Every structure is written in C-alpha cells, then in structure tokens.
Amino acid sequence: MDLSPTFGFSLTIKLTMKKISILIAGFLLAFAPVKADEGMWLPMFVKRLNYVDMQKQGLQLTPEEIYSVNNSSLKDAIVRLGRGFCTGEIISDQGLMLTNHHCGFGVIQENSTEEHNYLDDGFWAMKKSDELPAGFAVSFLVRMEDVSKPINAVLNEEMSLMDRAKAIKKVSDSLEKAAVGEFEYTANVKSFYNGNEFYLFVYETFPDVRLVGAPPSSVGKFGGDTDNWMWPRHTGDFTMFRVYADKDNKPAEYSEENKPYTPKHSLPISLKGVEPGDFSMIFGYPGSTDRYLTSEGINYELEVRQPASVKLRRQVLDAYQEGMDQNEKTRIQYASKFASVANYWKYFIGQQAGLKRLKVYDKKKGQEDALAAWIAKDEDSKKLYAGVIEGFKTGYDNMKEANRVRVYLNEAIFRVEAIAYSFQFSGLKSALESDNETSTNQTMERIKGGMDAHFKDYNMSIDRNVFAAMMKDYSNDIPKENQPEDYKKMVTKYKGDFKKMADDAYAKSIFGSKEKIAAFLEKPSEKILAKDPIFMIQSSIIGHFRSNISPIIQTESEGLKRSERLFVKGLREMNSDKVYAADANSTMRFTYGQVGGYEPMDGAKYSHVTTAQGILEKEDPSNPEFVVPAKLKKLIQDKDFGQYADKKGDLIINFIANNDITGGNSGSPMINGNGELVGTAFDGNWEAMSGDIAFETELQRTIGVDIRYTLFIIDKYAGASHLIDEMKLVK
C-alpha cells in the first residue's frame, strides 16, 4: 500500500479495514464468516475503550503491556518509517527491524546496478559491516496526549478558516515546544475528527537505518500487479533493516562508530501459526482514511478524481514500460517508480468498482438524511448546524472544475520528471532576479546536492514520452479558460502535435540533462530559466493555478471545512452511545479482530491461509510476475520447510484477518493474543476496496505474510540463519 501526496496540491485519499465482534465461538467459527468492525484506535485509550472487547476475542496482555509511557510496552517495538510512508517492527534486541518488501523497494532499487542487481537477486548482509545505509529515518513514539481542551478554548464558530488555522498553530507550537523540553525529541499536534479534537505526539527519531536483507522480487513481489490487492496471495512481501544509535543508545547520524540500537521492547516471534478465530492485532501508522466523506464527496471521487487518476497513470505506466523493456539499466532505474504509480492505479480502479457495487453513495445519503432529521428537532441544533448538509453540495459543485485542475496538476504536470525538477529552480530564479547573492548561493548548493540523485534514475527518452502524453491530456481535458495563456500559445504553435512539442522542448531545455544542469549552475542566469521551454510550462501552469484556481479552492473550502467539522460533531452527538474511531492521519493506531476467511461472492468461499503449493500452481516462467526461483521451487517440491512447516507439514505463505488498516500500515506487525509476532500486514482485498471511505463488515480483510514464511526465506532460502539467531522464537 502507498499514499503519495504530491506538492501539497492533492486531495488526500484514504483506505482502511477493521475491528470485530464474535457472535459464534469455538469450533463453529472455523466455518462461519467472520464479520469485521471498523476501528483505528489510539493506544492511550486501550484500557477505557477497547480492553474488555479485546479480552473477549482472545487478548492475554494487560493494557499496560500494550501502551505505557513509563514501562516497556508493545508501542516501543513499533516504528514509523520516514514521515509515515510505512510501518516497521523491532524483532531483536539488536535493533533488527522488519517491514514490507515494497516499503524497502526504493532502497533496494537505489543500491542495485547491472553488476549487483538486488532487485532480481535479493540482498543479504552476512555480517553487520555489509549492511547498507537506507537513506530514511525511523521514529519511536514516546507518548501521546489529548490537548483538545487548550486548543478548542481559543476557537469559535465565527472564525474564518485562516484565523482558525493561525489560532491552532499558535497553541500547538507552544505545546510542542513544552513537550520536547531539553530532550532530543520531536513533537507535533494533529487534528482528529475533522478538527473537533487535537492530540500531541512526541517522538524519538533515529536517522541511521541500514538495509540488512531483502528477498528477490520474484519472492517479495510474487504476483506483481496481477495479484496486487487480491486474495488469495502467495507473496513474501518483507524486507529487513537495522536501527543504529551512538554509544549511549541515542539517535545519531550515520557513522561507522554507531552501534545497533538496543530497544525498549522487541517482539517475540511465534512459530505456532494462526487458526480461524485467533485474535489478531495490528499496530502501526495508518496514513489516511475518509470514513466521514459525504455523498457529494463520493460523487466527486467517481466523477472527477478517480477516473482522471486511472487514465493518466495508465499512460504513464505505458511510457515507463516501453522504456524499461529496452535494456536492463533502464528497467532497474524505473522499477521503483513503476511500482509506485501502478499501486494506486489499480487501487483507484478497485475503489471505483467497490463504491458503485456496494452503493456507498446511498448509504452516505441515508446517514446525512438521518442527521438532518435529528438537527431539525432542536432549535439550538438548527442554529449551530445551519447549512451544514447543504454546504457539501455547494462546496463540491463550486470546486469541481478547480479540483479537476488540481488533480491534473498532480497526476499529469508533475508526473513529468523534468517539470517537477524545474520547480526546484523557482527559488533560484527569484534569487537571481533580486540579485540576492546569499540566497542564490544557498539555493544553488541545495540543487547541486540533489543533482546526482535525481539523474541517477532518470531517462530522458521515457520522460519525453510522458511529457507528450500528459501535455495532450492536459490540453484536451482541462477547459481552455482554466489553462494559462502561455501554455495555450505553445499548443497552438505546434498545432496540437505534442510529440513535436516534446522533442523541441527537450532539445532546448536544460532540465533533461545532468550535463546541461551542471553547466548552467556554473554560470546561472535568470534569462536562461525564463526562456527554457520546460521551465516556462511549469511556471505558467503553477502561476495560473496560484492566481486563478487556488483562490477558488480557498474560498469554497471555507464553507466546506465548516460543514465537514460540524457534520462529524453532529454525528457523534446524535449517536452519543456509539464510539466513533477517528480517521487515520499517520499517527500510531491499533486495530484488533480475528483471523478468518470470507465469501467474496455468491457460491465462493476463501480460506484464511495460502500454502506453498499455490506458488507452484501460479508459476509461469514466461511471465516476470510469476517466476519462481529454482532454489525456492526445489525447497517446496522437497517439502524442505524445517521448523517453519505447520502441523500438516505445509508451509503457510499468507493469511487474512479482519483488521482495519490502510496505506502507511504497510509493514505493520500482526500480533497474536500473547503479544507475539505472527505476520506482517501488506495489503487489502479487492472486494473491499471502498473500505477507506465506507467500511464493509462482511468483506474487509487484511492480507499478511505469515512470519514462518519470512523466516523460511531468511533461513532455508537465503542461508542467513545468523539473523534468526537474533530473534526470540516461541514454539
């Protein structure tokens, strides 16, 4: 799973999946469909809100063993990767960290060459000195705190959106500063329930993270795009890293003197496997969901955002694939980019189908009608909630075309790498125009520092083809009145021949070539930037967006944000006996439920697990997505599974549970009732792709890699048994 906000202009979209209530126990549960119940819960409230229910479903831990500020608890083994693109878990007292293969894919690709192709061959550090810098940091949650009271005390309904944001920031800055004190921590306040509540989170961040092991893509991405978001799966989607610290076990930048981090808690690993009805808990950092999206928001998704995203991403993928098929170097360069674009291309297709099939619009409309009827019963409520429901239609209608431009800005314009790269030079142009030598030098140094990394995995031929396709779509699909004049003049000049437009632009521009950029930076000129065709397109489109589109969005957001905030407030007041879970927002959450299969459609029933036999059944040597490495094939054929086989002698590959997750949760631990690691979450199921907007109790499932398959690959396939020796195995 992946969430990819781009340049701050995108509307955030979200996905998710569950919690649960048992109605039938014991033996019958193995044959009965397990219903899911949504819930992404803050661990600080586990004792008050969830503990009794969790005990009924099989939890053996105390609340303090799940979340504690003063003592070691499960939360101390959970890490946020970067700013929340994935989750990881600590599985040894030497800082060994497990996450998904697709979470580490960029690192694996970055370190791959034609001579050392870790994407195809895998990577295993046989000693700690072989481990490779990962290029991202991980954060441990120190504590969280409800700060709604001091922030809400300075807010009122008469405030404008801007004044409200300023007031929230002022109090938040003060709270964050006080929370950090003299510690080397970071802190941030996050909004919950669409701006009705606020919570403070304090983190300790470790920047020295190193790649330890990754299976080949034929294991880590087995099934490729074909199987993505699908069950049954047979994927070894895992990667291993290690967190390092200084001699005092404190965060430190990369240094050969650093030592493996000694964690407050590491997860023991169960070799017992899972059975239907077993307790399952996921801990992690879900990125974003939109469970409070209204019926008008559904219309926007189905009519504007998702169709455009699917169309544009498909064309980008086609351009990538054409270039990647040319040679091995380009295939390696664009492997991570292709995977990133493809992930949510398929997701949007599935979500559109799910929203329609499950009649989510009708369900949302019914919820809104119920709230409107409740509001109408009370005079005070009618005053407070005046115009809330109507505000959604007004806001979305008035922003429809502006939002279309915003989608195309993200999915088309900034998908062109040369255009996105040229955006970094906007500050340099301003510094040159103002003759600010200090600013010019600082900006140039920043650009020079990132130049090698940008061009390492850049192919001008591919980018030129993407440019031609995206410029054509932007020209044809965006109403002419919402296009900048300079851009329209360029299209007219080339008489709609976008290939010729692309050829000329890349021949004349400095942004398609590392050599041209290096030469420009030796003698930077504002005039060169002003005349550069790619810079001209970028600056004209961004300028037009800021001057003509952004004000519409800002104006209409005023009423829409008010409606969103009061809509959630009203729902919670109307159903005061119900505990609502807040939308995901990249803060630590846990979800709980049970292992179990499901019935995707009439006449079909899915088991809760898949086995190694399925890998052989799917094998197709002519299809890169379904190639099985020779060594793995022999191990499976010989049933050489060692201690990782189940009671029947089978090797379990993946399993499903009705936990509630979304993007950002990728890599999250799946934990049993004893607090032991049984799997690593990596995906959701196709039939419930609308789950980030409307949770489906009958269908929602999380797909995880059975930890025994992970250990089997590490030990029997890769021969990296020294890593197994670090872990605490529970048999």
What's the token pair of residue 108? 């694996």
Three-class secondary structure of residue 372 per DSSP: helix
Q: Please provide residue 117's backbone torsions phi and psi, each rounded to the nearest 5 degrees.
A: -90, 85
| CA dihedral of residues 348, 453, 119, 135 (deg, nearest 10) | -90
> How buried is 101 (Cβ within 10 angstroms: 0-12 exposed, 13-18 middle, 19+ buried)?
buried
Cα separation of 609 and 30, whole Å?
12
Structure tokens, 65:
């063993």
Place of tokens 């300028």: 543
Distance CA 275, CA 632 (A): 25
Contact 459, 330 (CB under 8 A): yes
Report which secondary-structure segment, H or E, holds 683.
Answer: strand 677-684
Determine the length of the chain.
731
The answer to whether the CB of 290 falls within 8 A of the CB of 13 is yes
513 — phi, psi (to 5°)? -140, 130
SS3 of residue 204 by DSSP: strand
Q: Which amino acid is at 311?
A: K
**Rounded to whole angstroms, how far apart are CA atoms 422 and 531?**
13
Whose CA is closest to 360, among 19, 40, 695? 695
| Whole-number Å distance between alpha carbons of 187 and 202 | 4
Catalytic residue among 73, 112, 666, 668: 666
Give the single-character DSSP code of 151.
H
3-state secondary structure of 282: strand
CA 386 to chain centre: 36
Contact yes or no for 680/704 (Cβ under 8 A): yes
Question: In the numeric block, which tokens belong to residue 238?
Answer: 């895992």
| Whole-number Å distance between alpha carbons of 382 and 392 | 17
Query: What contacts 155, CB < 8 A, 6 or more positions away?
Result: 164, 167, 168
With beta carbons less than 8 A apart as the criterion, state whether 607 and 231 touch: no
Which residue, chain included where needed, has tokens 């014991």? Answer: 26
DSSP strand pairing (269-270 vs 729-730):
parallel
SS3 at position 234: coil
Using alpha carbons, select from 319, 342, 340 the residue that is nearest to residue 330: 319
Nearest to 349 by CA among 478, 232, 229, 235: 229
Q: What 8-state DSSP symbol labels residue 197?
A: E
List the catalytic residue out of 37, 227, 237, 457. Answer: 237
Distance, CA of 400 to CA of 392 (rounded, Å): 12
Does residue 666 carry a catalytic annotation? yes
Tokens standing for residue 172:
């938040």
Cβ proximity of 100 and 669 under 8 Å: no
Residue 671's φ and ψ, nearest 5 degrees, are -115, 140
DSSP per-residue string spanning 587-598: S-EEEEEEB--B
Q: Which residue has the tokens 């808690």?
A: 265
> Is residue 237 flagged as an active site residue?
yes
Q: Please tell me which residue in 101, 102, 234, 544 is annotated as part of the active site.
A: 102
Catalytic residues: 102, 237, 666
